[in-house]
Amino acid sequence: MFKYLALFAFLACGIQAQKIYIGSCPKVNVEENFDLNRYLGVWYEAEKYHEPFEMGGKCMKSVWSVQPNGKISVLEQLIKKKSGKVVNGDNTAKFVGKKTEAKFTLDTPGVPFGAPYWILETDYDNYTVVWSCTDMGLFNVRFSWILTRSRTPSDSIMNKAHAVFDRYNLKKIFEKADQSDCPEEF
């Protein structure tokens, strides 16, 4: 029975996942003394592990805000290249543990489970390195993004973000996000 469950989980994750690895998730640390208020606002996707949701899209961004009811909203938006249609993903972020640790669970309507959203490092003004890893028993599923406050970050900013992956011996298997010809108001 376990073999069938593991196979089902592997196939289900493989359809959605960016990268699958044998074994447990690597040990990483998150941003210390995290300040949510400084993190709020617009983050543009600079690089990412392959993301099926974003195929055929460009101008991907995440907008973090706190709603009047206290919930943390994460609105993800992109523009479909062929149609020009804006696609929205409404998510809710919840702290995992202390509010000074940059560990969240990202909940998406219609998805029965939340996804880890760990901020490994941010300087709040230029870049953030986001990591997600889920242990699935014999294997793990990894996602990662480098987000920036600018659609066109400098090489020095990207080098700082890449250094985070070097520190943890994590593979830098990124795709560059398409931030070309994005409308100014978007």
Q: What are the pLDDT digits (tens) for 4-28?
A: 333 334 444 444 446 788 999 999 9
Task: Express each pLDDT in 49-92 by its tens digit.
Answer: 866 666 789 999 999 999 999 999 999 999 999 999 999 999 99
Two tokens at 53?
Answer: 């949701």
Is there a contact between 6 and 138 (Cβ–Cβ < 8 Å)? yes
**What count of other Cβ atoms lies within 10 Å of the Cβ of residue 135?**
12
Least Cα distance to 20 among 138, 116, 112 occurs for 138
Domains by residue range for the chain, with CATH = 2-176 (2.40.128.20)
